Amino acid sequence: MKLLLVEDDFDLAGALSRSLVARGFEVLCCADGKEALAAARRTAFDVITLDLSLPGLDGLEVLRRLRDGGSTTPVLALTARAAVTDRVAGLEAGADDYLAKPFDLDELVARLRALTRRVGRDGQLRCGALYREPGSGVFYNDALPLELSQRESELLRLLMSRVDRVVSKEELRTQVFANTDEQVQADAVEVVVHRLRKKLVGTNAEIVTLRGVGYLLCDADSMAAHKTDKAEKSDKGGVAR
């Protein structure tokens, strides 16, 4: 697994690189934002860890330029900026995940591997046996293409671009029905989701409804964890959403 490690702390970068190599990663280190951007554009990496405080070019700007250039490489923002506003800024700039320093190495490795399962190096969006070809935009269950309407495809693309993360109902409604002159009913998103659920049977991917919040797409393992967490909250008298 090829990883671009962007970190301007020489000691941390060295120690982290050695640990990741021992875990099976092929690591290239960059300590400068401009150098990192050039490396990411030149080489196909499976995943990028990106410090947000960098010389040459700020990490957020590196992120923005990568995404503006069409890069779909998963990026984990690894930084000492732990405030909620900083996390939101990183995610909005295009980060797929966020881990604050100091961090646990096992957690970092688990997050990196989870990110590479979601998006392959070839740009395919993935979840369980479900994936989307970046060129044609066709969705497949393993080798079998799925027959989806344009709206079903757009809604699924949005959910797959943020696997295990909530996408609001309003964002889905705005994006899926953006190019239509017809009046959109209040339950239009629910109707598309209902049809999609039937077509995702056998893909190991499921759409979870978080009432009052939105929807998320996850594989069977994540679904099991979600249900366990919900049961534990219920047992403790908490509110399970």
Give, for all 241 residues of the chain, the pLDDT tens digit.
Answer: 889 999 999 999 999 999 999 999 999 999 999 999 999 988 878 899 999 888 888 888 998 898 888 777 889 988 786 667 777 777 777 888 888 888 889 999 988 887 776 655 455 677 888 888 766 778 888 888 999 998 999 899 888 877 777 888 888 888 788 766 566 777 889 999 999 999 999 888 899 998 888 898 988 766 655 554 444 444 544 433 3
Residue 200 CA to residue 227 CA, distance in Å, equals 19
Q: 222 and 140 share a domain? A: yes
Domain count, the chain: 2
Domain C-terminal end among 70, 86, 118: 118
- pTM greater than the 0.85 cutoff: no
Q: 87 and 163 share a domain? A: no
The parent domain of residue 10 ranges over: 2-118
Q: 19 and 104 share a domain? A: yes
Domain C-terminal end among 75, 93, 118: 118
